[in-house]
Structure 1
């Protein structure tokens, strides 16, 4: 049976999205996730995933990292962002990292249903060429684990702390760090953090 993932940390809004999904596709299996980690697990476990409905502001997500990470996990699965973020600011940004559409949480239910139907139909929102910059493409090309390491760097975590957070060896973190520095075409962690501003993150000192 076809599966649709509803990823939002607010239970009531997950219920509203579930209702919208069943209006469009009453025959689908719906999986809910209240955090980015749970969403990643759901994506990995679903063999017939047809669509991801994703809130930007979820536990474990920073900026647009949720879109980038889930797109890296399942590049062939469309992601429809359903968010309270300002549409004018977020519309082009989410497209850079693999989302096929964006709809505001304040949109009427009928509009959300139309966006779901369009995403399932393979439609994409028009991409703004101004947003298709080189660094965004490089960040989007990182593997899921490389993205997690990069998010750790942005949080100011040391390699050993990132290793503990991710449940991997510190040597493995160093391997991922070397690879992501090469992909981003930067020479050190600070430059990587600046480059990751493409994820919509504020780099702090």
Structure 2
């Protein structure tokens, strides 16, 4: 079976450019497209032989670095290459904390994007990934260790959603939301709003008022 590459970006023309870059590096690749984060996560979970995810940070359904975190939680063994218009200096550390192996700007040449794709497929990780030690890095590592459903519940809580609203959003029982949240608090080692705000900052989110 040929290797598959997921191209997740909400701009069709840029998806086409990324697909061209992929085929230059991996001519026999099966390319899966997604224009929203929800579709990207579903496609990642459903695609056999997934070898790489190309991900735009700012696509429908994504807030802060939640897209990287969700996809890494869903397919932890698949490398994620962020291809984004976000400022690299600001985003570099955070996408690495949540499992991305590389970051390339949308302003890059097609040659540079192809080189980044080839490096990611070869198993290379971007240089300078942050070391653990500071509170935000440690929290990011804990968030990255959550299961996909636990992460979705956490994102709902950080967005100010009530348990019943999160249950409706995710199609699960309210009691299940509570059970997931108990597990999340234990894994993150937090017990109050101030500590939860650290998780939000690690994800690049603003805590709902």
Q: TM-score, normalised by structure 2?
A: 0.94
Match of 1:113 in 2: 114
Aligned residues: 205
Q: Does 1:169 align with 2:157?
A: no
Q: Does 1:23 align with 2:27?
A: no
| 2-structure distance, mates of 1:26, 1:195 | 40
Q: Which SS does the other structure have where 2:6 is aligned? A: strand
Q: Deviation string for 1:36-83 (max 9, x for gaps)?
A: 110111111112000000000111111001101111111110000000
Q: Is the 8 A contact 2:160 2:207 kept in 1?
A: no
Alignment RMSD: 1.4
- 2:160 aligned to 156, 159, 181, which one? 156
Match of 1:100 in 2: 101
Q: 1:192 Cα shift?
A: 2.1
Q: Does 1:46 align with 2:47?
A: yes
| 1-structure distance, mates of 2:132, 2:145 | 19
Q: 1:131 Cα shift?
A: 7.8
Match of 2:150 in 1: 146
Q: Is the 8 A contact 1:139 1:196 kept in 2?
A: no
Q: Deviation string for 1:100-157 (max 9, x for gaps)?
A: 0000001011000000000001100021326872111111111111111111112110
Q: Deviation string for 1:152-195 (max 9, x for gaps)?
A: 11211000000000111000000000000111111145632442
Q: Does 1:37 align with 2:38?
A: yes
Q: Is the 8 A contact 1:153 1:193 kept in 2?
A: no
